[in-house]
A and B are shown apart, each in its own frame.
Chain A
Amino acid sequence: MERRLLLACLFGLFFASYSYGEDNPFSGGIFLGGNALNLDHQSAKFNEYNAIAPGMVGGGNVSYDTGKYHFDADAAYLGGDDMYLKLKGGKWGSFKYSLYYTEFPHNYSFEDRTIYTNPGAQNLTLPGKASATPQNSALWPSTSFDYGIRRKDIGGSLDVTAISPFFFNVTSNRLQREGDMPWSGHDVYNFGKTVELPLPVNDHTTNANVLLGWKNKQFYTALGGGFSEYGNQAEFTRFQDPFTTGATQAYGTLVGPPDNRSWTLNFNGTAKLPLSSVFALNAGFQNNTSRTTLLNTIETGTAAAPTVTTLRLSQPTFNGNVDYFNVGANLTSNPMKDLTTKLYFKYLDRRDNSDVVTFTNPSSPASGSVTNSLFSYNKTSVGAEATYRFLKNLKGIIGYDFTDTRREGGEDFLTSPAPTALGIANVPRTVDNTFKAQIVYNPFDWLGTRLKYQKLYRGTDTELQPGTANVLANNVSRFDIGKQEQDMFKLTADISPGDALNVSFEYAYKLDNYNSTVLGLTKAQENEFIVDGSYVWKGMKFFAFFDYDVSSTEQTAREGGGNPNTAPTTSAFNWNANQHNNNYAYGAGTNFPIIKNKLAFIVQYDFEQNNGTANFTSQSFTAANTNLGINNGNINIGPWDDYTRQNISARLVYDYNKDFGLIFGFLYSQFRLNDGQLNGYQYVAPGPSYLSGAYTDGSYKANVYYVRAVYRF
């Protein structure tokens, strides 16, 4: 009896003490481990955004929370190419801050080759004369190099709420990028010859944003400002021209992104009004500027006798200046029970106030001049939506949007004396009418459904260009601003009969018809079906995912110019291309405890396959085609971005106790690419052109074995 009384006392004491006690304020963990990697060959795709490599790895985190102040630090892979260090903390209810430093790569392609001796330099040189460039890539400089960019980002933020009803937030970061990316230099003297070369990348972006606002239960206002500066330490890259044939060497210059700056000012505000209404207003202004000292010399002459010509420029520098202005307003209301309405207005204006620069060639005055064309546009949208709750579990939404986009300029660059025949039909204005309808219906507690339909009608004001020389251009429609009808349909069902089982189904259909298009994209279509589910049973978790996506595009174009509505000849004819992609993906996995709270096994498998084709039909064939036996029976392309991707991941997690644990893991990863544009790759390509192997290393097979020891405190 006394023992039972004592236990009851202790029971009560336990609850009494627990009601007011707190956990240890200091917690965290560290991990140390290693990776072993078996990779069939170096592939940038395997490590596109990571730096998985054999060797030791480590990291840790620590948290400290006194109930008044808190601090968290998290770091891993220090010293590696994808390291990170993150700190955050603050005073509860008063302010919070964060600081971070992260690095990660974006790798494009490994073990590439080039005719140049010094990939990565801003002055690319050949080992000898251009005319001596080997036509056999095996004789090129032996140094292989990688295309990729390393990103280093440092930044932080401060958020102050202690000054309520005012609030203040400031963020800032600096991103540094270094590396190389695939670029090209076209032959000056002959059409259709180019050299693929490594463009050095060395730039930084510094951003700073501040937000100051005031709020109470009825009103919210915030004024924000931002500044961004981009600096390019490798704006100009010089390369020795590999296409000269004589003794004189020539050099070309690639012009990269200019240094630029951006200032932003924006205002946001809301006000609560009667009838449960909320009026929201925003307005913003952004000014983007750039400055480039223009090159006033340019390669000319012939391949046998290259020269350098001094151009005449209307001004030596180009000052870019683009303003964005936006304003928007919403009014949402609840005018009667179960009815919610929304009216909105949006306006966006992009105004190009940059310099207009004219180039002339004093050595060839008859060639006229080239002047850049400035492009501006504004977009006005008005719309309305109404939502009505028919029943507790049935809701309908209808909406209408009218968007008017007006463009100025945007013609091809202007040439004098004769306008270029490449001119694209000017489309100054498009008008979009969009109708939307949705139903949200949850017939049962365990079943939720959503049905959405959207119809877009796009009309255009096309300005036809006079003259028979422009008959082709007058029949070309640019798909992004062409006359269009779009139908979008989506049905989603979420089933969750209990807490343990969740399954979601989704079917989406999209059809874009460009019925008035003669030349260009005429149709685009997509069907997608997805299933995603998870199940928990006796502590075991299972998941499965399936996605099937079929998409296609149809286009018509004309080879040889002229009127597409005339009969074909062997030199001028129309052709069609139908591209299809069948993509399916699935994944399954489980997390199950072998010994509860002691030993768990996690395994999962992801798979994806894409099969693409490009099927062509041609009205006619050139004499050269016919001589080679090319006809409609042998022009289709089979592997067109075909790939398979699969990952198998398995790990055993052993917790010796609450402080110590071990993880033994394995990852099998495979990617196989089969694409007609890369199959049979030739470094000395048609032209001849010199390529560098960019993106040819995509396929890989990798096995990663890893172990981690974890200590928690």
Chain B
Amino acid sequence: MRRGLSFLPLVMFLLAFPASSRGADANSFAGSDVCIGCHEKQVRLLVKSPHWKKAVPGAPINSEGCESCHGPGAAHAEQGGGRGVGGLITFGKKVTADRKSAVCLTCHGNSTMLAMWDSGMHKKMDVACSDCHTVHGSPKAPAGYGTTLAGLGYSPSWEYQVCGKCHLDIKARFNRRAHHPLVEGRITCSNCHQPHGSMYPSMIKAPSVNQLCYKCHAEKRGPYMFEHPPVDENCAACHTPHGSVHEWLLVEKVPNLCQNCHDASGHVGNRYSRETLFTGKAPAIQSVSRACLNCHVNIHGSNGSANPANGFNSGAYFFR
């Protein structure tokens, strides 16, 4: 009886580890059950992802499991595991972006999301799929600069962390005095940009900047009777969308921003220097508070009527 029992552990061990993993060469598969033995943490996170759902056609769980991405692992297991052992496919710094992405593209190359991957900037700049995506688990909540409201529940999406790794200047801008509400978690990078590639400038999700802005700011879409041509051509002539030290996301303070284009006799070309402020010797309404916008309020376009005899309340001058 005791002799029979002595074989029991071996039997149980063999049940746990399928025959395909035993005595294998470098190109043979060990089976995911072998991987689980040492990489339990990675598997615990993996089972929650679509990669481990049998209902998903082509999911790794329906083929070679872990080895669908990491390659045949028998040699790695037989040699006792460890970094660089057994010729596994890994996704570390020593592997080129093309090589890393090729693994993902084996299955996802036909994805609708990646249709424009070749047209985009990220492929050209050697951004690999694994630089932004994690298969083993869910993206972590962002931490670091700009996340001080996270404890109260106002946290940017994980895209802020991921995109901000490379786009440091954009990360800085979203924390400036005037900014689109990304760090508060109201919008995210992919609301405006298509990171998987786009044929449009700066990989935005519209053929032009204005058409993108109108998706959320439909009140600016018009069309208006009295147009302001630079507004209709490019919102980014006056606004910087990520963040600015100036209110209203402006690239420069008014009135100087307006005076970069407008100069004429009368108040248009006047010098609005220190004496024209509230605290100056000759305060001017064109200089204080909202400056030009104190009067020319419909700056994005107007449907106000025009009186040829009096321009002071004319839509043509954006007063109404």
Is the beta-carbon distance between A602 and B305 smaller than 8 angstroms? no
> Which residues of chain A come closer than 8 Å to B54, judged between CB atoms?
67
Is residue A203 within 8 Å, beta carbon to beta carbon, of the partner chain?
A: yes
> Which residues of chain A come closer than 8 Å to B199, judged between CB atoms?
268, 280, 282, 328, 330, 344, 346
Chain B CB count within 10 A is highest, among A184, A253, A604, A685, for A184
Option from B93, B216, B260, B266 in Cβ contact (under 8 Å) with A496: B93
Is the beta-carbon distance between A67 and B53 smaller than 8 angstroms? yes
> Which residues of chain A come closer than 8 Å to B247, judged between CB atoms?
641, 695
- The stretch of B9-17, B22-30, B67-75 that contacts the partner chain: B9-17
Option from B222, B224, B281 in Cβ contact (under 8 Å) with A628: B281
Is residue B162 within 8 Å, beta carbon to beta carbon, of the partner chain?
A: no
Option from A184, A409, A648 in Cβ contact (under 8 Å) with B148: A648
Is the beta-carbon distance between B307 and A361 smaller than 8 angstroms? yes
Is the beta-carbon distance between B53 and A196 smaller than 8 angstroms? no
Option from B264, B267, B278, B313 in Cβ contact (under 8 Å) with A680: B278
* Interface residue count on the B side (C-beta < 8 Å): 144
Is the beta-carbon distance between A637 and B273 smaller than 8 angstroms? yes
Is the beta-carbon distance between A643 and B320 smaller than 8 angstroms? no
Within B207-239, the residues touching A (CB, 8 Å) are: 207-208, 211, 214-216, 218-227, 229-230, 232-234, 237
> Which residues of chain A come closer than 8 Å to B261, judged between CB atoms?
424, 476, 478-480, 520
Is residue B32 within 8 Å, beta carbon to beta carbon, of the partner chain?
A: yes
Is residue B122 within 8 Å, beta carbon to beta carbon, of the partner chain?
A: no
Question: Do A321 and B148 form a contact, CB below 8 Å, given A192-B267, A280-B199, A520-B261?
Answer: no
- CA A415 to CA B226, docked complex, whole Å: 13
Is the beta-carbon distance between A667 and B149 smaller than 8 angstroms? yes
Is residue B88 within 8 Å, beta carbon to beta carbon, of the partner chain?
A: no
Question: Do A359 and B305 form a contact, CB below 8 Å, given A182-B290, A606-B146?
Answer: yes
Is the beta-carbon distance between A424 and B273 smaller than 8 angstroms? no
> Which residues of chain A come closer than 8 Å to B268, judged between CB atoms?
422
- CA A357 to CA B314, docked complex, whole Å: 14
Q: Is the interface of A mostly helix, strand, loop or mixed?
A: strand
Within B269-301, the residues touching A (CB, 8 Å) are: 269-271, 273-275, 277-279, 281-291, 293-295, 297-298
Is the beta-carbon distance between A288 and B221 smaller than 8 angstroms? yes
Is the beta-carbon distance between A184 and B222 smaller than 8 angstroms? no
> Which residues of chain B come closer than 8 Å to A636, judged between CB atoms?
273-274
Is the beta-carbon distance between A188 and B310 smaller than 8 angstroms? yes
Within A675-698, the residues touching B (CB, 8 Å) are: 676-682, 685-687, 689, 691, 694-695
Is the beta-carbon distance between A22 and B172 smaller than 8 angstroms? no
Residues 74-86 of chain B: 1 if any A CB is under 8 Å from the residue's CB, otherwise 0? 0000000000000
> Which residues of chain A come closer than 8 Å to B291, judged between CB atoms?
677
> Which residues of chain B come closer than 8 Å to A130, judged between CB atoms?
none
Residues 246-275 of chain B: 1 if any A CB is under 8 Å from the residue's CB, otherwise 0? 110000110010011111111111110111
Is residue A419 within 8 Å, beta carbon to beta carbon, of the partner chain?
A: no
Is the beta-carbon distance between B211 and A290 smaller than 8 angstroms? no
Is residue B48 within 8 Å, beta carbon to beta carbon, of the partner chain?
A: yes
- CA A254 to CA B305, docked complex, whole Å: 10
Is the beta-carbon distance between A298 and B55 smaller than 8 angstroms? no
Is the beta-carbon distance between A543 and B145 smaller than 8 angstroms? yes
Q: Which residue of B lies closest to A560 (CB)?
A: B265
Is the beta-carbon distance between B153 and A59 smaller than 8 angstroms? yes
Is residue A320 within 8 Å, beta carbon to beta carbon, of the partner chain?
A: yes
Is the beta-carbon distance between B181 and A104 smaller than 8 angstroms? yes
CB distance from B184 to the nearest CB of A (A): 4
Option from B12, B169, B237 in Cβ contact (under 8 Å) with A506: B169
- CA A557 to CA B124, docked complex, whole Å: 43
CB distance from A182 to the nearest CB of B (A): 7
Is residue B19 within 8 Å, beta carbon to beta carbon, of the partner chain?
A: no
Is residue A665 within 8 Å, beta carbon to beta carbon, of the partner chain?
A: yes
> Which residues of chain A come closer than 8 Å to B151, judged between CB atoms?
602, 649, 651, 663, 665, 667, 706
Residues 182-193 of chain A: 1 if any B CB is under 8 Å from the residue's CB, otherwise 0? 111111111111
- CA A709 to CA B308, docked complex, whole Å: 67
Question: Do A604 and B148 form a contact, CB below 8 Å, given A292-B225, A618-B271, A676-B279?
Answer: yes
Is residue A445 within 8 Å, beta carbon to beta carbon, of the partner chain?
A: yes
Question: Do A288 and B223 form a contact, CB below 8 Å, given A9-B9, A215-B115, A676-B277?
Answer: yes
Is the beta-carbon distance between B320 and A8 smaller than 8 angstroms? no
Is residue B36 within 8 Å, beta carbon to beta carbon, of the partner chain?
A: yes
CB distance from A312 to the nearest CB of B (A): 10
Is the beta-carbon distance between B145 and A288 smaller than 8 angstroms? no
Is the beta-carbon distance between A504 and B273 smaller than 8 angstroms? no
Is residue B160 within 8 Å, beta carbon to beta carbon, of the partner chain?
A: no
Is the beta-carbon distance between A320 and B224 smaller than 8 angstroms? yes
Is the beta-carbon distance between A77 and B305 smaller than 8 angstroms? no
Is residue A115 within 8 Å, beta carbon to beta carbon, of the partner chain?
A: no
Report which B residues bind A (CB closer than 8 A): 2, 5-6, 8-9, 12-13, 15-17, 32-33, 36-37, 40, 44, 47-48, 50, 53-57, 59, 93-94, 96, 109-110, 112, 115-116, 118-119, 124-126, 143-154, 164-166, 168-169, 171-172, 175-177, 181, 184, 186, 199-200, 207-208, 211, 214-216, 218-227, 229-230, 232-234, 237, 245-247, 252-253, 256, 259-271, 273-275, 277-279, 281-291, 293-295, 297-298, 302-310, 312-316, 319-320
Other contacts beyond A255-B305, A673-B177: 14, CB < 8 A: A13-B12, A19-B32, A22-B47, A217-B110, A252-B313, A278-B118, A300-B307, A311-B306, A311-B307, A330-B119, A397-B124, A612-B253, A679-B279, A681-B278
7 tightest A-B CB contacts, nearest first: A561-B265, A320-B223, A12-B12, A545-B145, A587-B145, A8-B9, A635-B273
